[in-house]
Amino acid sequence: MATSPTRPVFLLLVVFVLLGAVGYRSLTSTSSAADTGPVGDGELPDGTSVYDDTHAGVTELDPDLLRALRRAARAAVDDDVDVVVNSGWRSRSYQQRLLDEAVATYGSREEAARWVSTPDSSPHVSGDAVDIGPARAAAWLGTYGAQFGLCRIYDNEPWHFELRPKAVDDGCPPRYADPTHDPRNR
């Protein structure tokens, strides 16, 4: 009995669809190949999971911060909140690029400093800070983060969290208005 010509055509069509999907994902991805594994600048694609183990923006976070963040993310699921990492560890060059972009956006280094720290003072460069999204997740973490030692640091950045282990017992310390009021940035 001869094989129907529709079967090979169907299989070929499936292969093309799969290859097309992989190619499309590669072309539309916002991540760079240089940011896989323990190297890269820290830039993350949208929707990066707190459980990601391929992007330096997550893998280079302080291990205690990452553990606390993952514990919090597991708890947030009970409230139907999905916590993602918008930004975590950053290379010095990536931090400088963000600062340069902020100066261009805000018109001066002084105004940009309210939003972006220098590579020498940013806790992102040392892996000690994480920016959370979406807004609902940042709000959830702002409410419950102290239980995990995660605290908002700046009033003007509701997405920015750092590890403060004493917060588990004592609550989070008072926030700074913005990074220009943080003594680490002076």
Q: Are 32 and 40 in contact (CB under 8 A)?
A: yes
The residues that bridge with 131 in the sheet, in sequence order, are 87, 160
Residue 5's pLDDT is 52
pTM of the model: 0.79
pLDDT in tens, 24-56: 333 333 334 344 444 589 999 999 999 999 999
Return the sign of the alpha-carbon dihedral for residues 132, 137, 139, 141. Answer: negative
Exposure class string for 49-74: b at 16+ Cβ within 10 A, else e: bbebeebbbbbbbbeebbebbeebbe
Task: Give the pLDDT score at 6.
Answer: 52
**pLDDT at position 96:** 97
Tell me what pLDDT residue 10 has.
37
pLDDT of residue 186: 82
CA 130, 134, 139, 140 dihedral sign is negative
| Residue 14 in this model has a pLDDT that exceeds 50 | no
46 phi, psi to nearest 5 deg: -55, 140
